[in-house]
Amino acid sequence: MLLLVKVILTLWVSWVHGQEIACDPPRIENSQYISKRTNYRLGDTITYYCTSGFFPSSWGNTAKCTDKGWDPPPRCSKIKHGLLYKEETYRSYFPAPIGQWFYYSCDENYVTPPEKVWHYITCTKMDGPRKCPAACIFNYSEHPHSPPKKQKYLQGQTHHCYLPSGLQSPKPQRTVTCTENGWSSPPTCIQHCDMPIFENATATITGKPFRPNDTLDYQCLDGYENEDGNALGTMVCTENGWSHLPTCFKSADKCGPPPAISNGAITSLPLEVYPPGSRVEYQCQAYYELRGPKYVTCSYAKWSELPSCIDPCVISEKIMSEKNIELKGKDDKTYYVKTGDIIEFVCKSGHRAVTSEESFQAVCLEGMVEFPRCE
């Protein structure tokens, strides 16, 4: 009986000892952690610090030993093929709270999702490694005397190739895909042009495909003309496709030059005649705020609704002297502010505020601003 008790006691002690050692030391690449032990019990925690260029992949930089292992899994990740804006300055912000965001840029031959130089990442509950997708440049095959043509593809996008009959290639390609490491294989595609779809026009010849530099003549239907005001036109097949598509329209549907607006103008040189469907862009002078549609379209001889340019607020030294105020943190004698922007004022030295504290943060509203006053 005594022997049986000893055996049970020994098994129980072994089981308890096994329960105490619940986690092995973690292996966290690109980091250092404390405290270091040979084994960890349930409930023990560690704090880890990522090395330069790496950041905690989950909320916080601590992990707890549980019966399922370390929670959350401690690891350090980086923006693959990219760099955090002012990394040394913002490193102290990590571990970052959920909802915090940071600017970053990508290395050469890589782009941010919106294809801008700078973009931002936001910390989420399920955050993990971020990366910049690759950008591949496709150079169309051309004749020796032709200038090179380029088109950009993002990682995962595919270019479909065409090899005209009669041309030989040891390894004919149909598609090439942009990968993280560049093109899936060296692109050796040859571009061609298919017969276009005509609207209010007919082709004078038929046949396909057309190779680069081939031409195609077309004729507008009776009562229609092209952008040049003629009934006949010619298209050229280029490495990027047809030089233009035939656009034939009724003469009565054309528009004249876009109307002028106060303190603004179109961004392109004005033409005497615009075909239906033409679109122009308006912009305002400096400090004026564009209100209304940015683009205006020609339709049935009329331009669509025009935008307007809202006046800015002019903060002059004369007005500020009369009110005994000055701009907070600025030495400008004359200051221009867009509508909707906030202007901060302070009393000049030796003067005290007469109006409310809120009035010293004035808002520009369509050229008007209510100034605070000091005496």
Residue 205 structure tokens: 């010849």
Digit-coded pLDDT (tens) for 91-109: 666 666 777 777 777 776 6
| Residue 84 near residue 104, CB atoms below 8 Å | yes
Domain extent listing, the chain: 23-100, 135-183, 201-244, 254-310, 313-363
The pair of three-digit structure tokens given for residue 203, joined into one six-digit string: 């082709």
Is residue 358 very low, low, confident or very high in pLDDT (cuts 50, 70, 90)? very high
Q: Do 23-100 and 201-244 agree at the fold level? A: yes
Percentage of the residues of the chain whose pLDDT score is greater than 70 = 71
β-pair type (79-80, 130-131)? parallel
Euclidean distance between CA atoms 238 and 248, whole angstroms = 21
- Mean pLDDT over residues 173-177, rounded? 67
Per-residue pLDDT of 237-292, as tens digits, reads 887 778 888 888 888 898 999 999 999 999 999 998 898 889 999 999 999 999 99
User: Rounded to the nearest 5°, which phi and psi values hold at 163?
Assistant: -115, 105
Q: Which single residue is written with the structure tokens 């509203």? A: 365
Rounded to whole angstroms, how far apart are CA atoms 263 and 290? 10
Let me know: does 339 contact 367? Beta carbons within 8 Å.
yes
Average pLDDT estimate for 163-174: 41
Tokens at 17, concatenated = 């000892």
Question: Which tokens in the block code for residue 367?
Answer: 């050229």
Tell the burial category of 29 from Cβ atoms under 10 Å away from its Cβ (0-12, 13-18, 19+). exposed
CA distance 267 to 282: 6
Instruction: Yes or no: say if 299 and 252 are a contact pair by the CB < 8 Å rule.
Output: no
The answer to whether 186 and 157 are in contact (CB under 8 A) is no
Is the pLDDT confidence value at 39 over 70?
yes
- Which region among 158-167, 186-195, 353-362 has the lowest average model confidence (pLDDT)? 158-167
CATH architecture of 313-363: Ribbon (2.10)
DSSP state of 25: P
pLDDT in tens, 21-30: 689 999 888 7
Q: Are strands 175-179 and 182-183 parallel, antiparallel or unpaired?
A: antiparallel
The CATH superfamily of 23-100 is Complement Module, domain 1 (2.10.70.10)
Give CATH for domain 254-310: 2.10.70.10
CATH of domain 201-244: 2.10.70.10
Q: How confident is the model at residue 298 (pLDDT cuts 50, 70, 90)?
A: very high
pLDDT surpasses 50 at 13: no
Cis peptide bond prior to 95, omega within 30° of 0: yes
The whole-number pLDDT of residue 169 equals 37
Tell me phi and psi for residue 92, to 5 degrees. -70, -15
Segment 200-218 mean pLDDT: 81
| CA nearest neighbour of 288 among 340, 362, 342, 338 | 338
- CA distances to 186, 236, 257, 298 from 229, rounded to whole Å, are 44, 19, 16, 16
Model pTM above 0.85:
no
Question: Dihedral sign, CA of 175, 178, 180, 182?
Answer: positive
Task: Tell me the pLDDT tens digit for each residue of 118-162.
Answer: 777 777 655 555 556 666 766 554 333 333 456 677 777 776 665
Angstrom distances, CA of residue 287 to CA of 260, 263, 311: 18, 10, 8
What is the rounded (10 degree) CA torsion for 238, 241, 245, 246? Answer: 50
- Give Rg (Cα) of the chain: 34
